Amino acid sequence: MKVRRLNKDNDWSFGNGKANYLKDNDAILQNVATRIKSFKNDWFLDGESHIDWFTILGSKENKQTIINEVERVTLSTEGVTKINLIELSESDQRSAKISIVLDTIYSINNSLGLKI
């Protein structure tokens, strides 16, 4: 697997030749992060594959729903074989951190931290 690397602003990176691409395990981890951050119906070719953040974040008692949706999207990402851990930490700043430990077809116990 090979994908274009994203920069710190989550835009495609250009200008460094092959260094602008991720492959194997790094590509899978970036795909997982991108799919979790994407909104349902955001991409017209596959509207159902992402998370309905507007509905989830607009409701109370949504922690388990978020965890379930993160699990669904992660497991449906190409190359992911197993989820070992999902943790959701909420802050007072209207944000949350999602920590995931997962196995891929390339390696086990990969850590991924996302701020939502």
Q: What is the pTM of this model?
A: 0.85
The pLDDT, as a whole number, for residue 62 is 84
Q: Domain with 42 in it: what CATH number?
A: 3.10.450.40
The pLDDT, as a whole number, for residue 74 is 95
Q: How far apart are CA 71 and CA 73, in angstroms?
A: 6
**Spatial CA neighbour of 106 closest among 23, 19, 21, 5:** 23
Q: How far apart are CA 90 and CA 4, in angstroms?
A: 31
Q: Which tens digit of pLDDT belongs to each residue from 36-70?
A: 988 886 777 776 778 888 888 877 778 899 999 99
Q: Are strands 21-23 and 2-4 parallel, antiparallel or unpaired?
A: antiparallel
The pLDDT, as a whole number, for residue 47 is 65
Q: Which tens digit of pLDDT belongs to each residue from 67-90?
A: 999 999 999 999 999 999 999 988
Kindly write down the DSSP assignment for every residue of 60-115, as one continuous string: SS-HHHHHHHHHHHHHTSTTEEEEEEEEEEE-TTS-EEEEEEEEESS-S-EEEEEE
21 is in which domain, residue-wise? Answer: 2-115
Mean of pLDDT values over 91-111: 89
Q: How many domains does the chain have?
A: 1
